[in-house]
Chain A
């Protein structure tokens, strides 16, 4: 199975900050990587797939990059509604796997 390791696991930041979350795959997955946002008590929401393509309706302050084994999710200027947990997921092979999550908290 392909393992995904996110860093950091916790991130404390302020409104207006630029933040970056990294996702590393245990083997190459080309660009078959998705990013999700999850708020408490809600299902995950797809933000980006493949690695750098924003889904319709996702604000342009979100961006993704990378290919192969290293990927990043960047939020250029944090807004209050962005404080949530973020997950990466590989869709290169079965079983699909997720990273362990990055909880983004307000400083």
Chain B
């Protein structure tokens, strides 16, 4: 059974940092593009970042220079290092897998940026 389990969310002050992790199981992790998608009540779904099987990375403009996506295939893990956090980064963050649609998702981890 495919499983994606996010962790690392929480409450952080503006300007602070968090590192999200996603533990993958049930599939060959290194063979799949992986993504971080966030959801806010006001703005719906937003693809924050992608790392493909060749370790090429993509970011939405609003997080470029602040967030870094990485993967560790030996540990079947995906990461999102988030620096210089802003109130507008407050959201549920999902990891997802797939290239032809995002066909597996985790349960999400809540990130709240507030003083």
Contacts and interface: CB of A to CB of B under 8 A. Distances in A.
A and B part of one assembly: yes
Chain A facing B: main interface SS: loop
Interface of A: 1, 34, 36, 43-46, 49-50, 55, 87, 89, 91, 94-101
Contact of A91 (B59, B101, B108): B101
Contacts, number: 51
A73 B50 CA distance: 26
Interface of B: 35, 44-47, 50, 58-61, 94, 96, 98-103, 105-108
A43 B100 contact: no
Contacts of A50: 100
B102 A95 contact: no
Nearest to A45: B105
Nearest to B106: A43
Nearest to A56: B103
A97 B47 CA distance: 6
